[in-house]
């Protein structure tokens, strides 16, 4: 169909809608009126259209039922009050086919009253947007999509927000919180980009690598929770978190927290020096047969895991975990005895897999 034919068809169809609109006996409003919405093919649905354009808001939506918070009983009631879809025989609307029953006109009037109130809320929101907007921000709302532009250092405007923001009762404070959150999030990201290439950060990582025999992991990242939109500095030793603090957006605060973490690591090594030495001895044994690592279980008890590294078991696991509930009361000899028992169990597990270990003396 040519563009001219489409334009002519649209004029004819709009004339039919206008004639039907006059029969419904709704108050005149240039922004709120009876209209049809296209569904598919020659199928349309009737409703009340809100078509409003202000300096900041562009709103165009067809309401075919009364909006409500969902619950099952209300849904059944509202479903009975929805307007029927209209299927035309041809692309050209026929006024005889566009008949709205009296019972449905009552529904249309209820929807109309709701949309009129909704329009007033939008106008009040427009007024708040006008008061809030300044040279720093440009705000546009298209239906429920909010686009916020922020002025950069070179006087250009960049997109800050471009998503569906939930505005409860069109509260400008909610939008301001979203803007502040996004601004803070951007500043956090920019600081982390600078931090991760800094000499101070990479020197700290190099120091962590010098600690042998223990699994140390640092995690510095954004916390995107709505009420805690900040940067967290976390330190894990053997997968147990031992440090979790807010990091300010400056290098000096990072340096201070890095020093605190080093003290924690050194105290940990001092407390578990015997275990660390034993694990290192196992991992560096001459026969290159054993491997070991230690961790903490959910009750924070020390666990040493020993295993062979001769083959990868497919059917049965060969590793053994030795749990020390009374670790502080044990001597080095006590720990060694527990490890020897665990190693014997590993050998037994290997036999289940079809392997047998023979001792060769030189």
User: For the segment 139-182, what is each residue's pLDDT rounded down to a tens digit?
Assistant: 999 988 899 998 887 778 888 888 887 666 667 888 888 888 88
Q: Does one domain contain both 32 and 109?
A: yes
Tokens at 165, concatenated:
């923001």
Q: Does one domain contain both 32 and 90?
A: yes
**What value, to the nearest 5°, has the Cα angle with vertex 69 and ends 67 and 73?**
100
Where helices occur in 234-293 by DSSP H, the ranges are 251-271, 273-283
Q: Which of 11-20, 243-252, 261-270 has the lowest mean pLDDT?
A: 11-20
Q: Classify residue 179: in a domain, yes or no.
A: no
What confidence tier does 39 reach under pLDDT thresholds 50, 70, 90? confident
Q: What is the pLDDT of residues 262-291, one digit of tens each?
A: 999 999 999 888 888 898 899 888 888 899
pLDDT score for 196: 97
Domain with 316, as residue range(s), is 274-352
Q: Does one domain contain both 125 and 164?
A: no
Q: Does one domain contain both 32 and 89?
A: yes
Domain count of the chain? 4
Q: Does one domain contain both 64 and 83?
A: yes
Q: Does one domain contain both 119 and 138?
A: no
- Say if residues 280 and 293 touch (Cβ distance below 8 Å): no
Judging by beta carbons within 10 Å of its beta carbon (0-12, 13-18, 19+), is residue 112 exposed, middle or buried? buried
CATH number of the structural domain spanning residue 231: 3.30.160
Q: Does one domain contain both 233 and 264?
A: yes
Q: Phi/psi at 172 (nearest 5 deg)? A: -65, -30
With a threshold of 0.75, does the pTM exceed it? no
**Which residues are CB-neighbours of 91 under 8 A, at least 6 positions away?**
9, 42
Does the pLDDT value for residue 259 go beyond 60? yes
By residue count, the chain amounts to 362
Q: Does one domain contain both 201 and 311?
A: no
Q: Classify residue 362: in a domain, yes or no.
A: no
**3-class SS at 325?**
coil
What confidence tier does 254 reach under pLDDT thresholds 50, 70, 90? very high
Q: Does one domain contain both 148 and 115?
A: no
Among 224, 249, 268, identify where a domain stops.
Answer: 268
């Amino acid at each position: 169909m040519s563009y001219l034919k489409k334009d002519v068809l649209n004029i004819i169809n709009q004339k039919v809608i206008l004639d039907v609109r006059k029969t419904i006996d709704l108050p005149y409003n240039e922004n709120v009126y009876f209209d049809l919405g296209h569904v598919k093919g020659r199928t349309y649905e009737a409703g009340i259209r809100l078509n409003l354009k202000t300096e900041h808001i562009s709103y165009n939506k067809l309401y075919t039922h009364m909006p409500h918070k969902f619950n099952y009983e209300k849904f059944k009631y509202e479903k009975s009050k929805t307007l029927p879809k209209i299927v035309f025989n041809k692309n050209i609307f026929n006024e005889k086919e566009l008949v709205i029953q009296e019972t449905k006109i009552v529904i249309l009037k209820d929807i109309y009253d709701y949309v009129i109130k909704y329009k007033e809320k939008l106008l009040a929101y427009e007024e708040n947007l006008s008061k809030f907007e300044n040279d720093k921000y440009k705000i546009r709302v298209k239906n429920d999509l909010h686009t916020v532009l922020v002025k950069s250092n070179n006087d250009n405007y960049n997109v800050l927000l471009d998503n569906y923001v939930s505005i409860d009762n069109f509260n400008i404070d909610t939008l301001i919180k979203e803007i502040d959150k996004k601004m803070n999030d951007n500043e956090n990201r920019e600081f982390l980009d600078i931090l991760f290439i800094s000499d101070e950060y990479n020197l700290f990582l190099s120091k962590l690598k010098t600690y042998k025999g223990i699994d140390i992991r640092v995690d510095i990242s954004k916390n995107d929770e709505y009420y805690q939109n900040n940067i967290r500095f976390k330190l894990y030793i053997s997968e147990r978190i031992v440090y979790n603090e807010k990091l300010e957006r400056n290098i000096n605060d990072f340096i201070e927290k890095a020093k605190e973490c080093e003290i924690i690591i050194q105290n940990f090594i001092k407390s578990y020096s015997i275990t660390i030495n034993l694990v290192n001895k196992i991992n560096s044994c001459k026969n290159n047969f054993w491997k070991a690592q230690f961790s903490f279980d959910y009750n924070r008890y020390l666990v040493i895991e020993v295993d062979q590294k001769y083959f990868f078991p497919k059917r049965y696991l060969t590793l053994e975990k030795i749990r020390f509930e009374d670790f502080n009361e044990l001597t080095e000899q006590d720990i060694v005895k527990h490890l020897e028992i665990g190693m014997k169990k590993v050998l037994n597990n290997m036999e289940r897999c079809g392997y047998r270990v023979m001792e060769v003396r030189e």
